[in-house]
Amino acid sequence: MHRPIYLDNHATTPVDKRVVDAMIPYFSEHFGNPSSINHQYGWEAEAAVKQTREILAKTINASSEEIIFTSGATEANNLAIKGVAEAYFQKGQHIITVATEHHAVLDPCKYLETLGFKITILPVQKDGLINLNALEKALRPDTILVSVMAANNEIGVIQPLTEIGKICHAQDIIFHTDAAQAIGKIPLDVQASHIDLMSLTAHKIYGPKGIGALYVRRRNPRVQLAAQQHGGGHERGMRSGTLYTPQIVGFGKAIEIANREQESENRRLTQLRNRLWESLSKLEGIHLNGHPTQRLAGNLNISIEGVDGAALLLGLQSMMAVSSGSACSSTTTAPSHVLTALGHPEKLAYASIRFGIGRFNTTEEIDLVAQQLVSVVQSLQRI
C-alpha cells in the first residue's frame, strides 16, 4: 500500500532531514535554558537561539532585538493585533484587515470587535489582490493598525506589501503582515516595505511545528506592544516563557536552507505547477483561482464547474493529499471564505482544490496526480 502523494504543503511541510539533524543535539546534550546566564549549559543554548535570531533578522532586513519568538504564526498574529489594540486604544480603536486573511488574523479582530473596537474588512478584487485606493479610502483618523497578509494560504496570491506600507506610514499607521506562507519563499524586507510587525512560522518551510516569531519594529517608529502572556519577562517582556531551543534551532536551519535554495526551488516549483496546470486545463469547466502570476510558486488553486466537491475529494483521497479550501474548514463542503471573497458562486456542483507543491514533490508525482485527477473528474462529469 502506497500512501497518497502529499500535495498539501500550505497546511504543513515535512521537516527537512537537515533540519532534524541540526535540532537533535539540543534535546539531551545542549539542553540548557537560554535564560541561565551563570553557566555553560545556558550559554550554549543562548548562542544557538542568538544564531536563529540573527538569521531571521537578516532574512527580513531587521535587527535581532526585533525578533520575538512565539509558538507559531497564530500566536504572533494574536500578539501583534491584540498587543497593538491594547497599547494604542487611547489613540484610536479602528483596525483594517482583509476578507482573505487567515482566521488567525480575522478572529482576533472579531474578538476585539466584542470589546468595542471598530473593524473594517476590505474586500479583494477577482484576482485576490486588494485595491490600494480602497485601502486609502478606508483609513480614518482613529485607525491604529492595518493587517494585510504577505501571501495567501489558499490561493497563493502575494499582496503589494511595499505599496501598502507606504500608504500606512504616510499616515503614521502601524502595518502588520502575516508572512507565514511567504517567509523563505519570496524576498521580504521590512525596511523597504515599511512593515512594523511581521508574523512568521517554521512549519510551512520544512521546519518544526510549534515555533514562530513576531518581528516588532524598534525604530522609526518604535512599536509598542502589550504582552498577551506574562511571566518571567522573556523576549523583552513581550512574550514570557522558556524558549524552546531545539525548535528555535530548527527554525533557523529551515530558513537558512530556504534562503539559500529559494531561487532554484522557486524555478523548479513553477515548472511543476505549470506542468500540472497544463494537464488539468483541458478539463471542461476548470478555472484558476487567484492572480495568474503574482502568487507563490508552489500554489495551484482550481475550481471545476459541474463537479461535486465532496465527491471529488472522496475519489481522490487514496491517491493524493490535497485540500479543498483551507485546511481549517475542509470538514465542511461550503466554499472557503477566501474563495467566497473572490466572488465565487455558492453553487452545489462546484469543486475547488488547493495544490501545495513542495520541496519533495517530483515530476513523476505531478504527472500521476494530473492523470488521476483528470480521470476522476471526467467520470464524475459523465454522471
Ligand X SMILES: *Cc1c(COP(=O)(O)O)cnc(C)c1O
Grid coordinates representing 331 are 470538514
Comparing CB distances to ligand X, the nearer of 74 and 336 is: 74
Which amino acid, one-letter code, is at 153? N
Q: Which stretch binds ligand X (CB under 6 A): 72-80, 116-124, 234-242, 278-286?
A: 72-80
* Binding residue for ligand X, selected from 13, 143, 153, 289, defined by CB under 6 A: 153
> What's the closest the beta carbon of residue 140 comes to ligand X, in angstroms?
26
Residue with cell 544564531: 51
Task: Give the integer Cα–Cα distance in Å for 256 and 260.
Answer: 6
For the window 194-233, what string marks contact with ligand X as x by the rule CB under 6 A? -------x-xx-------x---------------------
Q: Which of residues 164-193 bind ligand X (CB under 6 A)?
A: 178, 180-181
> What's the closest the beta carbon of residue 105 comes to ligand X, in angstroms?
7
Instruction: Report helix, strand or coil for 182.
Output: coil
H helical segments located in the chain:
17-23, 25-28, 40-60, 73-88, 103-114, 132-138, 161-170, 245-280, 309-316, 337-341, 363-382
End-to-end CA distance of the chain: 29
Cis before 221? omega within 30: yes
Q: Which of residues 102-141 bind ligand X (CB under 6 A)?
A: 102, 104
Q: Is 299 in the site for ligand X (CB under 6 A)?
A: no
**Is 109 tagged catalytic?**
no
Distance, C-alpha 292 to centroid of its chain: 19
> What's the closest the beta carbon of residue 153 comes to ligand X, in angstroms?
3
User: Choosing from 283, 328, 349, 374, which is the catalytic residue?
Assistant: 328
Comparing CB distances to ligand X, the nearer of 201 and 361 is: 201
Which stretches of the chain bind ligand X, using CB under 6 A? 72-74, 102, 104, 149, 153, 178, 180-181, 201, 203-204, 212
